[in-house]
Amino acid sequence: MIEKGTKAWERLARRYRFINAHMFLRLTGSGMAWLRTNQKTVNALNVFPIPDGDTGTNMLLTMEAAAKEVESAGGRSIGKALHAFAYGAQMGSRGNSGVILSQLWRGFARALEGVDEMDAPAFVAGLAAARDTAYRGVGQPVEGTILTVSKQVAAAAEQALQNGATSNLEILDSIVQAADEAVENTPNLLKVLAKAGVVDAGGKGLFFILEGMLRSATGLDLDVPLMSIDVDPHLMDLVGGEIEEGQDWEVVVDFRPNADFELRSFTDGLAEMGTSIQIAEGDRLVRMHIHVPDEAEYQPIEYTKQMGTVTNVNIENLMDQLAQLDGRVEIELAEVKEGQVAVVAVASGPGLAKILADMGAGAIIEGGPTMNPSAEEILSAIENLPTDRIIVLPNNKNVAMAARQAAELSDKRVQVVPTRSMPQGIAAMFSLDPERDLQETSDSMVIALEEIKTGELTRASRSMTMNGIDITEGQIIALLDGDLVAAGKDLLEAVLKALTEAGADTSELVTLYRGADLAEEEAQKISQMVSDHYPKQEVELVYGGQPHYDLIFSVE
């Protein structure tokens, strides 16, 4: 490592006095590499105890899309490189943090338009423009997030310039320190972070990008994470829906390791049993994840017992899940004609996708928790429809920004109806009339959202206290329109508590959407118990096939 104040540092600072396109690509590539190394750490900073911690993944995919776009741009002008980089980030942005990151790059690129080489004043101007563009892109900016980090970064850059910095390296060194301090301060600005005991995930992702640039410039490695959550570098990332041969069962074991526990020896033993191994080390607790063949599902559990005290075990039949998700549901999209109003809808399960298609959706995009579609995917669906009047239903709060970004990129007339859940999307579809005016249809859909309440049942991804409710990792939790209302060991009990909070006793219809991981027999029992509890209401059980959420319900 090259230390500040040394002659080597001074020489390096002179080298980075100007940055051209080639140097920019090397620096951003390093930032992306460092983010990839720490991707799971960022994902683990999920503030809410639901299994959608994918901020690191979304930001990395956004950066990868940006890098891919700029590779084909060529030339040595940093202004042109940034233009391509920002466009790629915009098209590939996923999730709220990914969209905000793309806006940061968009502002930075605008400030350096026409610039061949970036000096320190241009760097500072770019950071200020990045901050301003990102804040403008968010309807109601919240402090204690990636936005705050970008603001502190821009302020630190301006201060460094005022203090006499003449090299981009000096600016970069200042903003990395500022980003680190800003991230650590996010819990003081956002109560939900303080309650969860974490810092903001998006802000941490931005810090890793900037730190990766500095580490590369000063000769530090980019492949060894420094955080407490450690993931074996040889392990496979669980991305994709196909199940390879020998991966019949997914086994997850939480345990407190013995004093002589050795991670490498442990993973070597697991490698003889199965694949898709992941090991995460936290505070005095280790989580082991593995896929094993049929009739070997208990081997990893017995093996882990030798390494420490097992606190929790979860076993899932992956082949059964695949059978439910693949090939059972036939989806036929609505035929769309020129001049009609068409709907592009995001769906988180095959059953839900079929419902939306049957109600008239012209395009379905797979998406939801942990699998946010990019702005480019949404834009592609918009452009492929043979009409210029489009309504987009994001059906998830973390997809809304990407949907709005796609709408801005399209030359068609596009309305984004702010649906935050699958039941809201279904409710909105009742207002679809392909021959009706686009604005009238959109307005009717928005009104329909006020008449439905959505509940979601899943398992807590972390232990914490929220809304006065103590949550233990692995417990069943119930959300009502995004707010935590119940937690416990029994799915039925949690459903009934959430339905009470939703005012189901004064409603007309309760619809239960069965998730991919909930057996049909158990879902039938729960549906019958709900019917018995609410004899005056109509109760429907529908296959949704959504991952992560055993049940989604609507009350209307």
Task: Write the pLDDT tens digit of every residue in 133-155.
Answer: 999 877 678 899 999 999 999 99
Using CA atoms, how far apart are residues 62 and 97, in angstroms rounded to an integer?
A: 9
With pLDDT > 70 as the criterion, what percentage of the chain qualifies?
89
Q: Are the C-beta atoms of residues 58 and 50 closer than 8 Å to each other? A: no
- The domains located in the chain, with CATH, are 7-217 (1.25.40.340), 249-324 (3.30.70.600), 334-449 (3.40.50.510), 459-555 (no CATH)
With pLDDT > 90 as the criterion, what percentage of the chain qualifies?
46
- Render pLDDT for 358-385 as a digit per residue (tens, 0 to 9): 899 999 998 877 778 888 889 988 998 9
**pLDDT tier, 91 (very low <50, low <70, confident <90, very high otherwise):** confident
Using CA atoms, how far apart are residues 233 and 258, in angstroms rounded to an integer?
A: 22
User: What pLDDT is stored for residue 465 in this prediction?
Assistant: 82
Q: Which residue has the tokens 């540092």?
A: 9
Q: Are the C-beta atoms of residues 452 and 428 closer than 8 Å to each other? A: no
Q: Which residue has the tokens 């030339």?
A: 75
Q: Are the C-beta atoms of residues 438 and 415 closer than 8 Å to each other? A: yes
Q: What are the tokens at 382?
A: 């918009």
User: Exposure pattern of 339-361 as b/e (b: 16+ CB <10 Å)?
Assistant: ebbbbbbbbbbbbbbbbbbebbb
Is the predicted pLDDT of residue 327 greater than 70, yes or no?
no
SS (H, E, C) 508-553: CEEEEEECCCCCHHHHHHHHHHHHHHCCCCEEEEEECCCCCCCEEE
Average pLDDT value for the chain: 85
**pLDDT tier, 344 (very low <50, low <70, confident <90, very high otherwise):** very high
Using CA atoms, how far apart are residues 500 and 479, in angstroms rounded to an integer?
A: 12
Region 22-44: mean pLDDT is 90
User: What pLDDT is stored for residue 138 in this prediction?
Assistant: 74
Q: Say what the pTM is.
A: 0.68
Is the predicted pLDDT of residue 231 greater than 70, yes or no?
no
Region 237-259: mean pLDDT is 62
User: What pLDDT is stored for residue 250 in this prediction?
Assistant: 75
**pLDDT tier, 553 (very low <50, low <70, confident <90, very high otherwise):** very high
- Render pLDDT for 491-527 as a digit per residue (tens, 0 to 9): 989 999 999 999 999 998 999 999 988 888 888 999 8
Q: How many C-alpha atoms does 419 have within 13 Å on its Cβ side? A: 30
User: What pLDDT is stored for residue 206 in this prediction?
Assistant: 96
Q: Are the C-beta atoms of residues 503 and 453 closer than 8 Å to each other? A: yes
Using CA atoms, how far apart are residues 339 and 342, in angstroms rounded to an integer?
A: 9
Question: Which run of H or of E encompasses 45?
Answer: none
User: Exposure pattern of 377-408 as b/e (b: 16+ CB <10 Å)?
Assistant: bbbbbbeebebbbbbbbbbbebbbbbbbbbbe
User: What pLDDT is stored for residue 280 in this prediction?
Assistant: 54
- Count of Cβ atoms closer than 10 Å to residue 295 Cβ: 9
User: What pLDDT is stored for residue 232 in this prediction?
Assistant: 32
- Render pLDDT for 418-477 as a digit per residue (tens, 0 to 9): 999 999 999 999 999 999 999 999 999 999 998 899 999 998 887 888 888 888 888 899
Which range scores top for mean pLDDT: 55-64, 263-272, 437-446, 542-551?
437-446
CB within 8 A of 278, min separation 6: which ones? 231, 232, 235, 236, 238, 287, 288, 289, 290
User: What pLDDT is stored for residue 244 in this prediction?
Assistant: 46
